[in-house]
Every structure is written in C-alpha cells, then in structure tokens.
Amino acid sequence: MAQLTYREAIARGIAQEMRRDESVVFLGEDIAAAGGVFKGTVGLLEEFGPVRVRDTPISEQAILGAAMGAAMTGLRPIAEIMFADFFAVCWDIVVNEIAKSRYMTNGQMTFPLVIRSGNGGGLRFGAQHSQSVENWAMMVPGLKVVVPSTPLDVIGLMAASIRDNDPVIFLEEKALYATKGEVPDGDVVDTLGSAKVLRQGSNATLIALGNMVPRAQLAAEELASAGIDCTVVDVRSLVPLDTQTILREVSATGRMFTVEENPRLCGWGGELASIVADEIFYDLDGPIVRITTPHIPLPAADALEDLAIPSVTRIVETVQKSMNS
Amino acid sequence: MAQLTYREAIARGIAQEMRRDESVVFLGEDIAAAGGVFKGTVGLLEEFGPVRVRDTPISEQAILGAAMGAAMTGLRPIAEIMFADFFAVCWDIVVNEIAKSRYMTNGQMTFPLVIRSGNGGGLRFGAQHSQSVENWAMMVPGLKVVVPSTPLDVIGLMAASIRDNDPVIFLEEKALYATKGEVPDGDVVDTLGSAKVLRQGSNATLIALGNMVPRAQLAAEELASAGIDCTVVDVRSLVPLDTQTILREVSATGRMFTVEENPRLCGWGGELASIVADEIFYDLDGPIVRITTPHIPLPAADALEDLAIPSVTRIVETVQKSMNS
Amino acid sequence: MSLDVVAPLLLDDKLDLYRSQFALRQFEKRAYDLFLENYVKGTSHLSIGQEAIAAGVARAMRPDDWTFATYRGHAHTLARGVPMAPVFAELMGRANGLMAGKGGSMHLTSVEHGVMGSYAIIGAHLPIACGAAWSAQYRGTDQVAVCFFGDGSTNIGAFHEALNFAAIWKLPVIFFCENNLWMEYTRTTEVTAVANPAADRASAYGLESIIVDGNDADEVYAVTAACVARARAGEGPSMIEAKTYRHGGHSRADPGKYRPDEEVAEWLAKDPIPRYHQRLLAEGASEAQLVEIERAVNEAVDVATEEAKAGAVPGEDLLMKDVWANGGAEWRN
Amino acid sequence: MSLDVVAPLLLDDKLDLYRSQFALRQFEKRAYDLFLENYVKGTSHLSIGQEAIAAGVARAMRPDDWTFATYRGHAHTLARGVPMAPVFAELMGRANGLMAGKGGSMHLTSVEHGVMGSYAIIGAHLPIACGAAWSAQYRGTDQVAVCFFGDGSTNIGAFHEALNFAAIWKLPVIFFCENNLWMEYTRTTEVTAVANPAADRASAYGLESIIVDGNDADEVYAVTAACVARARAGEGPSMIEAKTYRHGGHSRADPGKYRPDEEVAEWLAKDPIPRYHQRLLAEGASEAQLVEIERAVNEAVDVATEEAKAGAVPGEDLLMKDVWANGGAEWRN
Ligand SMILES: Cc1ncc(C[n+]2csc(CCOP(=O)(O)OP(=O)(O)O)c2C)c(N)n1
Ligand SMILES: Cc1ncc(C[n+]2csc(CCOP(=O)(O)OP(=O)(O)O)c2C)c(N)n1
Ligand SMILES: [Mg+2]
Ligand SMILES: [Mg+2]
C-alpha cells in the first residue's frame, strides 16, 4: 500500500504495462526528457529509454497518425495529446481514421492504442486549455472513452486500456492531478465498462464523472445531513457504458441527477437521460435533472471559472430544490 | 413561384444575399469555376466575379482561418467545407477559435460568418464522406447550427444565417440535393431558432431533422392509417433551439420520438430527451424513444447503408411497438 | 538520385510490368462501365492514364512492404496482387467484396497483401504511413512503407507534419506524389505557391528533390527501388514527384471538360500503355506475346466481373460486425 | 531583402524604442512577481529577453495595422499601445481586465489597438491572420497583418496551409517567427528537419528566406518595415525568422533548468536591453535621459499594478455575457 498522487499514478500505470509488453511504446510532446508538462510521465524515459519513450515535434496529426500506423502493424502505442482541447487539431486522425478503419476494413485491422490527454478545467487556463471533451469522443462510433477519478482507477484503467485491443481515449482530469489516494503494491488491472457505486442511498441517484465525482460525493454527504439520501455512481467509462449499473441504481431511487463538467448541449448526461427515459421510464418518480457547466466557453478568471463548473453547493442546491418541489 | 431543387436553392440563397451586401464573400474548394462538387454554387462566379467567389487550395484550416480573420475585420464570409466529415481536419478553427473568440475577448470581436457543408449519408460514399455531424457542432458553445429540409428553408435559413452576426454551421443534406419544392419569387428570409410543426396529431410527437424530416412525414402518414396520429416537428435549427415549440408539441401528445440520422451516442435527440424529461416530465405518458443510426461508422454498400439509416419502415415499426406496449 | 543499387529489369520482368499496367487499365475501364450500368452505386475514382505509377512502384516493393493509397486506389491495390473479383465486388457493395462492402471504392484494404488501406480524407494517410514505418524501424524488420498522394494534397497540413516527422525520425517511408496537374476541378498550380508541389518542398524537410516521368513504368520502378533501398538501409525517407495525367474526370461520370483539349491530347499521346507496348517490341518482345497478355487480362476481367456480380447482398450480420476487436458493435452492457 | 524604402530611425525614435523595450521588460518582471504572490492564478508566458521583437515590429506598423500574437503575447499587446493596467488586471482575473477576466493571460486582445487576439493553440492564428489580410485586400485599405509565432510552431499543419494560402493570394501578411531555440522543454532542432525552422522553409512557398537578429530592435524594425512596405504595395506576404532567446522558463514558474548554463549565459550577454542602452549612449543619448525613461517606466508599472489590484472580482453577469453578438448566452427560447 502506498499513497500516490493521481499524477504519479499515470507513470506507474504506463510503466507497469511497458515492463510486461515490449510492444508498448509511448510518444508525445515533452513526455520524455521533461517527464510531461503535468509531470505525469516522470521516470519513463529513464526506465525504458529513448527508443520506447519519444519526444515529438508539435505535430499532433503526426503523433496520432504515427500511433495509428504503429498499432495497425503490431505495436501498442500510447500517445499523449497534451491538453484535451488540442484534439481539435488532430480530430480527423481520431474520428475519421482511427475510429473507423477497423469497421471499414471489415475487421482486417486492429488498433490497440491509447491516447492520453489532460482534460477539464479548474486551473484557470482559459477557454482553449480547459475543455472537458469526453463527449466529443463518446459521440464517435469506434472509440472507447475512459475518465478515471482516483489514483487507483488511473492505474487500473490505464492498464486495462493498454491491454484493450481497441482505441481508447484516456482522459486525465487536470484538476485531480494533485489529489492523493491509496494504491496497493503490485500490478493493478481494472475492467473497462464498469461503473462504480460509491455510496448507496434511497432518495436519489447522482451520476458523475471524473473531477465531478469527488464533488458529487461531498454533495451527497451534505444532502444526507439535510435528509436526502443519495446513491453516487462514478461512470468511469463512457464507452463501453455500464448501463446495467446505472439503470439499476436509478431504478432503485426513482430519481436521477447527472453531474457533468462539460457544457450542457449533447453531454453524456443527455445520453444517459434518454436511455433512462426510454428503458425505465415507469420506475422514475420525478424529473431527470442535469447539473452541468452552462453552455458557454470556459472563462479564465478564477472567480468566473468557479461560477461556471458545477460546485458542491450548486449540486446540493439543485438536488434539494428538485426533490422538495 | 417556381419549382427549385434543394441544390439550386443554395445558390439562390447565397446570390440573394451577395446582391444586397458587398461584404458577403465566398470561398472554398471547387466552388467557383466548377460551381461546387454538388453543383450547389453554379452561377455565383459568373455573377459576382473572382474577387468575391474564390477557389482555394485543399487547405481547410486556411479556408476557415481566412473566413474567421475576414469576419473579425468586417466582412461576412461564407466558407464551404465540401463534405461535413472534413470538419475534422479544421475542427480547431471551428471550435477553439471561431466559437470562443467573441466570449474570450468579452465581446470585442464579432464573427458574422457561415460555414456551409454537405452533410449526411444516403449516397453510398462510405464512412468518411457520409457523416451527420450536426451534433459535433451543437456540442460546442458559440456555434449556431442550422439544417434545412426543403428548398424553401434552404433559401430562407441561408439568408438568415448570412445576416446573423454569429458563426453559423449550415448543414446541407446531401441526400436532399435532388429533391424539389415550391419557392416564391423575390427575397426569402427566415428566422433562426424556429422549429416548424408539419403535421398535428394527438397520439405522439415525432421530432426530426434534415433528411429525416420527409421520412418522419411519410411514417406519420402510414401510422395515421394504422390508427396512430402523430405530430411531426422539423427542428431546423439546433442552436438556437426552439424548445417552446418542442415542449408544447410533446406535452400535447404525451409521447416523444426522435428521428436522428446521426449515430446514437450524444445525439441531439438525447439532449431533447433530457430537456423534456426534466421540464415536462409530468406531461409524459410513456417512454421517450430515439430512432437513430446505430452507433457504428456508416458502411458504403447500398444495402448496408439502407439498413443503418432510419427508414420509414423502421420509424413506423418503432413507434407502433412502443405505442402498443 | 543514384540508381546504381537498382537491379535492371529483364525482358520477362518488363512483360510482367506490361501485364500489370494493362490489367489496371482494363479493370478501371470495366469499373467505369459498371458505374454507368449502376452496378457501382457510390463514387469511384479511376487511375486511367496513371497506371505506370502503381505498377512500377509495386514492382520495386517486397511482398511484406506496405502501401497506403488514396480514394483513387484501385490500381494501387491491384498492383500489389489483390485479385480483381473482390475489388469489383467491393465497388458493387457485395458481401464477397474485399471488405464485404463496408468500405467501398475509396477504402480498399488488403492487409494480407500489404495494402494498408485507402484513405479518403486528403493528407491523413501520410502520418499514418509514418507510423507503420516507425513500427518497422522499432521492430527491426526492414519493411518499407510507400504512401501515394496527389498534387492537390500537398497543401494540407498533414502533409507538412508527416514529412517533418519522417525526416527527423529517419523513417523508412517513401512519399509518392502523383502529380496529374488537377485537383478535382481546379488546376493545382493555381492554388499552389510553387511549380512542383512536392519536389519544390522537399528541401523544407531536408530531402532531395526528385521528379520522375510518371508515365514510364521503368523509370518509376528504378527511382522507387533506389528510394526503397535507401529506406531499408536506415537512411530515412524520400519524396518522389511523378508527372502524369488522368485521362478521365475526377470521379464517377465526370467528363473532365474543364481541361483544355490540347492538354488532354498532349497527355493521351504520352499514354503509358501504348508507350510501354512499343518499348517492349523495340526491346525484343513479339506482338504475339503482347496480344496474349492482353487477351488473358481481358478474360480475367470478365471472369472477375461475373464472380463479383454473383456475390450476395450484405445483411444485418455484417452491418453490426467489427466495430470492435471482439467482432461486435456493442457500446453498452 | 532591400531596406532602401525604410525610413531610418532618429535618436528620438530610438529613445522611444528603448522606452518600449524597457517597459515590456519591467511589465513581465512584475507579472512574474504577481504570479509568485498568487495574484496571477492561471498560467503566464513571459517574453523576457525577446522584447526587441515586439517593440521593433510595433514601431514598423501603422496604428490601424493588425497583430496576431500567441499565448506568449503580453509584450506584443503592450507594444501596440495597450495600457498596462488592464493587462495586469486581466492576468489577475479582475473585472477591469482587458477582457474582464474572460480571456486570461493567453488571450490578450484589444481590437481598438489593432491587437486582434492572442492564440493559445499552436498554429491556429496563422490562417486567421491571412483572413484579416484578405479583408484588407478586398476592401482596399492597405492595412497589414503581422502574425507572431515560435520556432516550435513551424511543424504544425496550420503553418503550412497559411503560408501557401498567403502566397497564392498575395496577401498583405507578415509571418514573424521568434526563434528562441526552445519549444516548451524540447530543443526545436531536435524535432525539426531543417536548421532554421522558418527561413529554410520560405522557398516552399516561393518566399525569400529572411533571418534577423531578434535581439536588435533596430534591425527588427528595419526588416519588418521593408516587409510591411512590400505588403502595402500589394507584393504579398513575407516570412521573417528572428534569432532570440527567452531568459526564463516556458511558463509560470518553470526555471528552465533543461537548458545548458553556457547557452543561457551566452544569450544573457546578448540581452537586447543593455545592448540598446549602450547603443543609445554611443549614438549621443545621455545616461540621465535613459535613467529618466527607466524611472518613469518603473513608476508606471507600480501605478498600473495598483490600479489592476483595485479591480473588482467578476461575477455572474460577466459569466453569461457575450457568447453571442446580441450580448447574451441563450441557446434556446
Ligand atoms: C480534407 C479533404 N478535403 C477535400 C477533399 C475532397 N477531395 C477529394 S479528392 C480531391 C482532389 C485531390 O487532388 P489530388 O491530391 O491532386 O489527387 P487526385 O484526385 O488528382 O488523384 C479533393 C479536393 C477530401 N477528400 N479531403
Ligand atoms: C496544438 C498545440 N500543441 C501543443 C501546445 C502546447 N504548447 C504550448 S506552447 C508550446 C511550445 C511552443 O514553442 P514555440 O512555438 O517555439 O514558442 P515559444 O513558446 O518558444 O514562444 C507547446 C508545445 C499547444 N498550445 N497547441
Ligand atoms: Mg491531382
Ligand atoms: Mg520557441
């Protein structure tokens, strides 16, 4: 058992898999000599050398094209896109090439690759360095999408993503890099497509992802003392999606709230709402409510960013208002 | 009054606005001399000359960057992205630059520009030339998103988009280019953010967009003869979204079905479902059901593409099954 | 560009190269007919006039080398040894198609033949080819990747990123520009800052500027073989610009009317196939030998057409197959 | 590059240019302190060591010309005449900030000063600058756009697209590469196929290769002025590569330890500001004049800091403002 930060867990997860599999290689901007701009990959160059851990130019299309070409010819590359916002400069390689080529070739090609990226806000970096882009990826058939919320999940889901034979978009929550958690010694391997029930309640079910998970947990504690007993589900993986757990936990309480860092329109919460409103409509006791960042670009100022992203207070107030009306 | 094809309506709408406003300029690949690969812009070079109607290299980032820079300095550019799938190669300019710069600059800049693009499937062009990307754009704060379903709407919404002071993603449904419709003489100007109720029924409300609108209408006719009387709403504009009309029409029947060409996850139908399940939950009489393309890349073969995209038969069967259960 | 390392072609090799070029031509002509007869439903982009390139390059490659083609990729796919019938069937959207109809004309792929895909978004496959080359370098297999693209594709960002990336990592990849003068309906020089869109940019990546006659299969072969040797020797990437012309329009039934008559005539006179035919006669082949090659090819095209037409229409099972490596399409449990 | 057309700077102009460089330096030093004191909450990228460029270029521009900067854009913004206080306030996220705190350090914009934005995604603003230049060309205003970017930014696709686009349309735009040798923590030559990442690629766009000493404001001014004149005369774009160095790290509190000590020392010895100070003395300015300039700047920095600190914290009204041209943020009715 050790206490590890979320940031340290990244390198730990990657190293664990690079040790057992020579075909795992890693490329990206400033990931080798510098150990990553978020210091998430410190030590990997030293342990695995410059042939397996390579710095690249600022050429995101080349980075992901290289990962794709390597994956289709037998390697298991990990590529870093420094900030998730930068997916926009290489989106074609992700959505038109990596996501579709297995299907288009009728299964002739396989793309065992992981694209890691720093996701989300909270660091006052402004609109072009703070986006939560999990929905950009969830929207595209052929991509798996993983967003861990704890150091332990980082390691286990990273290992599962690297071992998976499909392309995985692995989003690391920038706001969580400094958070700590217990991690067992030895290898950790988790399962993609499994949500976690973090708290069981009887009145309402809060469904959260990534950086919103600890906030949902804190909100649930506050709500409990105000007499509203909430289940909290950490989705962890948007594709594959653990609809069994989600449907079961919403059925059990009859009320569903999503807590989403993304701007509202077409967020994963909308997708979940539509699944629930279709498949367990008659188990619902009241409206489905989404708590999201408003549909605006994220502002840079700390005061404004804090107003934008769902806070514990906003979660508590929204749930209370809806449950008491 | 004249009969016009959807394709002819494009050039008509653009010409109408270029005549009244010198600041409207138009650029894209093969749009001038060739009149567009879908022949949607025939005659514009001849009428407005090569200074206002310009062919470009295959450089989508340059095309949209040019449109953005021109818009912030007083022009009203129209840019073509030939196939909507190609947004992926210039997505940064759309989502990180055009969509956000007004907000980031606290309103110092304005971006009156239109990006037109051929959207959707049905032409057996395969996975990289057939995508319905309306949700890619809807997801991003700062973009307006318009998808006309008739020649008349093409002209009126094109005019409204060009006159609008915000960036508009104007998606032309490739499968509809050859369809015809009545168009009055003289200028036509419509309003962004207004849905159209095409048919009023009492049992269920079908909400459709673009190429799915005529299918929803045909399905409604079939359903009517089977005793299920449906309202059909053409959304027309995803942002701004006419939630008043949608909420009213769903409340009136108590049942909502969406008909979406996009692959399922995070589609606009999910967003609408979540709005309805929140705001008029108690008006609902049964599950909300989404009829979408399965969450797969679009196949090229005609037989497979026809299986993938919602057909009139699938709409009819899905509605019947749900209404009778 | 020194060609010393390249093995010269013998007459038999050249007869084979003729067969290959002729087969590509006849395949494309049949594909055009099938399009007009509405057997081919989607789009298609033919290489008629450009056959010397696909054939000459393939000749310079080892079976385990990789090609990356564009939407104009029938010829490049067949030249690597992929049989005609599944390609025809793919164009027709049949279950016996190369990818069971799921990819279509623009995405021909046959991994077993080293045909690592045809890509329909301009520029995307240049970085992807870098990745395959990187994998060969990492695993020490001395495989080489060849990536075809058009003149118009040199102005897109991915071109630039891939060239720089290949150069700095010394990747075994050959970027092959087929300069047929035209993008879809626009002349490339009208929208390109330099006269030779690939060759004039080689120096921006520390590469040699190489221009070849794309209508001469022997020259294409020799220069490509030299670049392949260089790549296998660990000396890094090359870029080749071949001058050529498409006889027809850009795609589907486009008659290509935007091109001046004299230009078309000039290039028809440089048609690689009659030219090669004449060369073979001059180098000692008999007319009878060539006629027999042509007959056999024509027969093969007919047989393949019928085999393709006999294919079944693909159904729901194929539709929901192979999104994921487990063979399925499920996104939920 | 002929400099005949450029008006030589008089001593008064040069004193002004000194004032400008010194102000940029002092602003950045204060910004660094404010970061350490946690007044600046987000990131910030300083131009210490590179001031001769922002100052020299601004001097060559007309007030109605446009600049496009990067996330490392404080200097470029101030050099065009934007007052210090709103820039400090923007870094601190205050309502009196240049964009009321909504943009932050990386997105400084002041349309009234021709500062058409600072862009934080590498490469994006090069095509955008083309668009502004196109608009000037279309409206016949003879305005010019200058677009700054770093050495590391020359390997991204947008660079290539913009250069070609500007060249073929003969746009009045100047691409200004500040080559400070480093990307974030990686040396640019390690990932770039040519030694001069911008200048060695100019020919790929039919442009002249231009390299200047980026630590010499007079040279930067003169070469930029010549390019501006060319652009105004309708002779199209230019690309300039200036050799320079950032004294500190890439951003925030990065100490820049990855750089060899000798390299840092070599460049500190070429610091543009003491150099310019010496030159002014040699050209007839008095030490007292320079001391007075420095005093006035320091005072201005102090005053601006206090003014910025006095700003209010922005609230909900600003949050939901100006997504759309109508001033609001509504996406529904
Ligand atoms: C990113 C992108 N932009 C535009 C297109 C549409 N398009 C397909 S082929 C083509 C012309 C390509 O010309 P060139 O590279 O010379 O190849 P050729 O067709 O002549 O073989 C264009 C513009 C595309 N497929 N992808
Ligand atoms: C598309 C993209 N990729 C990566 C980054 C992260 N990033 C910010 S600055 C930078 C280094 C840029 O180096 P250079 O262009 O030399 O400019 P400098 O910082 O030295 O002024 C990087 C990689 C980014 N902002 N955008
Ligand atoms: Mg061409
Ligand atoms: Mg630099």
Tens of pLDDT, residue by residue over C50-109, are 999 999 999 999 999 999 999 999 999 999 999 999 999 999 999 999 999 999 999 999
Cβ–Cβ below 8 Å for B92 and D124: yes
> Does ligand 1 have an atom closer than 6 angstroms to the CB of C183?
yes
Residue ID of nearest Cα to ligand 1 atom 25? C121
| Interface mutation vs chain B, best among C102, C107, C151, C316, most B CBs within 10 Å | C102
Cβ–Cβ below 8 Å for D131 and B61: no
Chains that touch C (3 or more CB pairs under 8 A): A, B, D
Cβ–Cβ below 8 Å for A97 and C325: no
Residues of B taking part in catalysis:
129
Residues 6+ apart with CB under 8 A from A31: A41, A44, A53, A54, A55, A80
Phi, psi of C260 (to 5 degrees): -60, 140
Please say whether the beta carbons of A71 and C131 come within 8 A.
yes
Q: Among candidates C43, B180, A297, which has minimal Cα distance to D321?
A: A297
The ligand 2 site (C-beta within 6 Å) comprises A 29, 58, 60, 82, 86, 89; D 72, 120-122, 149-153, 180, 182-184, 188, 250
Instruction: Give the length of chain C.
Output: 333
Distance CA C142, CA A303 (A): 57
Contacts of B36 in chain C (CB under 8 A): none
Contacts of C323 in chain B (CB under 8 A): 295-297
User: Which residues does residue B239 pair with via DSSP β-bridges, in sequence order?
Assistant: B145
Say what the pTM is: 0.99
Which atom of ligand 1 is found nearest the CA of C251?
19
Please say whether the beta carbons of C203 and C209 come within 8 A.
yes
Determine contact: C259 vs chain B, CB below 8 A.
no
Listed in order, the ranges of chain B carrying CATH 3.40.50.970 are 2-183
Please say whether the beta carbons of A263 and A238 come within 8 A.
no
Give me the pLDDT at residue B325, please.
Answer: 87
Ligand 3 centre distance from Cα of residue C49 (Å): 12
Q: Among candidates C246, C195, C207, C182, which has minimal Cα distance to C24?
A: C246
Distance CA D88, CA B301 (A): 59
Residue ID of nearest Cα to ligand 2 atom 19? D183
Ligand 1 centre distance from Cα of residue B58 (Å): 7
Catalytic residue selected from A129, A144, A215, A236: A129
Listed in order, the ranges of chain B carrying CATH 3.40.50.920 are 196-324
Classify D11-306 by CATH class. Answer: alpha beta
Ligand 2 centre distance from Cα of residue D122 (Å): 6
Which of B88, B271, B277 shows the shortest C-beta gap to A288? B277
Contacts of D42 in chain B (CB under 8 A): none
Distance CA B184, CA D331 (A): 30
What average pLDDT does this structure show over C27-56? 97
Nearest residue on chain C to D191, alpha-carbon basis: C168
pLDDT in tens, chain A (325 residues): 899 999 999 999 999 999 999 999 999 999 999 999 999 999 999 999 999 999 999 999 999 999 999 999 999 999 999 999 999 999 999 999 999 999 999 999 999 999 999 999 999 999 999 999 999 999 999 999 999 999 999 999 999 999 999 999 999 999 999 999 999 999 999 999 999 999 999 999 999 999 999 999 999 999 999 999 999 999 999 999 999 999 999 999 999 999 999 999 999 999 999 999 999 999 999 999 999 999 999 999 999 999 999 999 999 999 999 999 8
Alpha-carbon distance values, B69 to A207, B64, B74, B109, D129 (Å): 41, 8, 9, 10, 6
Give me the pLDDT at residue D3, please.
Answer: 86
DSSP H helices, A204-311, are: 212-225, 243-253, 268-279, 302-308
> Does ligand 1 have an atom closer than 6 angstroms to the CB of C59?
no
Per-residue pLDDT of C2-25, as tens digits, reads: 888 898 999 999 999 999 999 999
Residues 6+ apart with CB under 8 A from C213: C219, C220, C242, C243
Identify whether A129 is a catalytic site residue: yes
Distance CA D30, CA D9 (A): 30
Per-residue pLDDT of D174-183, as tens digits, reads: 999 999 999 9
> Does ligand 1 have an atom closer than 6 angstroms to the CB of C182?
yes
Query: Half-sphere exposure of residue C326, counting CA atoms within 13 Å on the CB side?
Result: 6
> Does ligand 1 have an atom closer than 6 angstroms to the CB of B60?
yes
Residue ID of nearest Cα to ligand 2 atom 2? D122
Contacts of C258 in chain B (CB under 8 A): 33-34
Which of B37, B123, B303 shows the shortest C-beta gap to C42? B123
> Does ligand 1 have an atom closer than 6 angstroms to the CB of C151?
yes
Nearest residue on chain A to D150, alpha-carbon basis: A58
Please say whether the beta carbons of A85 and B96 come within 8 A.
yes
Residue ID of nearest Cα to ligand 1 atom 2? C122
pLDDT in tens, chain B (325 residues): 899 999 999 999 999 999 999 999 999 999 999 999 999 999 999 999 999 999 999 999 999 999 999 999 999 999 999 999 999 999 999 999 999 999 999 999 999 999 999 999 999 999 999 999 999 999 999 999 999 999 999 999 999 999 999 999 999 999 999 999 999 999 999 999 999 999 999 999 999 999 999 999 999 999 999 999 999 999 999 999 999 999 999 999 999 999 999 999 999 999 999 999 999 999 999 999 999 999 999 999 999 999 999 999 999 999 999 999 8
> Does ligand 1 have an atom closer than 6 angstroms to the CB of B247?
no
> Does ligand 1 have an atom closer than 6 angstroms to the CB of B88?
no
Distance CA A221, CA D90 (A): 37
Query: Does C252 have pLDDT greater than 90?
Result: no
Question: Which strands make up the sheet holding A230-234, listed edge to edge?
Answer: A196-199, A230-234, A204-208, A256-263, A289-293
Residues 6+ apart with CB under 8 A from C261: none
Ligand 3 centre distance from Cα of residue D123 (Å): 26
* Pocket probe mutation, ligand 1, options B82, B131, B133, max atoms within 8 Å of Cβ: B82
Please say whether the beta carbons of A28 and A114 come within 8 A.
no
- The one-letter amino acid at A141: P
- Provide the shortest C-alpha distance from residue A89 to chain C (in Å): 10
Q: What is the DSSP string of B96-112?
A: IIIHHHHHHTTTS----
Query: Does C208 have pLDDT greater than 90?
Result: yes
Distance CA D60, CA B93 (A): 29
Please say whether the beta carbons of B266 and B215 come within 8 A.
no
Distance CA C155, CA C160 (A): 8
What average pLDDT does this structure show over C292-300? 98
Give me the pLDDT at residue A310, please.
Answer: 98
Ligand 3 centre distance from Cα of residue C34 (Å): 24
Query: DSSP strand E in C208-311: where?
Result: 210-213, 238-243
Pairing of strands B230-234, B196-199: antiparallel
Q: Where residue D315 falls among pLDDT bands split at 50, 70, 90?
A: very high
Return the CATH number of B196-324, one of 3.40.50.920, 1.20.120.1810, 3.40.710.10, 3.10.20.90. Answer: 3.40.50.920
Q: Which D residues in the span 136-175 are in contact with B, Cβ-Cβ below 8 Å?
A: 136, 138-139, 145, 157-158, 161-162, 164-165, 168-169
Return the CATH number of A2-183, one of 3.40.50.300, 3.40.50.970, 3.40.640.10, 3.30.479.20. Answer: 3.40.50.970
Q: Among candidates D107, D92, D119, which has minimal Cα distance to D306?
A: D92
Phi-psi region of C234 (alpha: psi -120 to 50; beta: other; left: phi over 0): left
Cβ–Cβ below 8 Å for B126 and C42: yes
Chains that touch B (3 or more CB pairs under 8 A): A, C, D
Q: Where residue D253 falls among pLDDT bands split at 50, 70, 90?
A: confident
Please say whether the beta carbons of D226 and D158 come within 8 A.
no
Q: What is the DSSP string of C85-113?
A: HHHHHHHTT-TTSTTTTSS-GGG--BGGG
Distance CA A192, CA A259 (A): 21
Ligand 1 centre distance from Cα of residue D180 (Å): 37
Ligand 4 centre distance from Cα of residue A163 (Å): 37
- Provide the shortest C-alpha distance from residue D85 to chain C (in Å): 39
Contacts of A241 in chain C (CB under 8 A): 331-333
Query: Half-sphere exposure of residue A171, counting CA atoms within 13 Å on the CB side?
Result: 32
Per-residue pLDDT of B263-303, as tens digits, reads: 999 999 999 999 999 999 999 999 999 999 999 999 999 99
Give me the pLDDT at residue D2, please.
Answer: 84
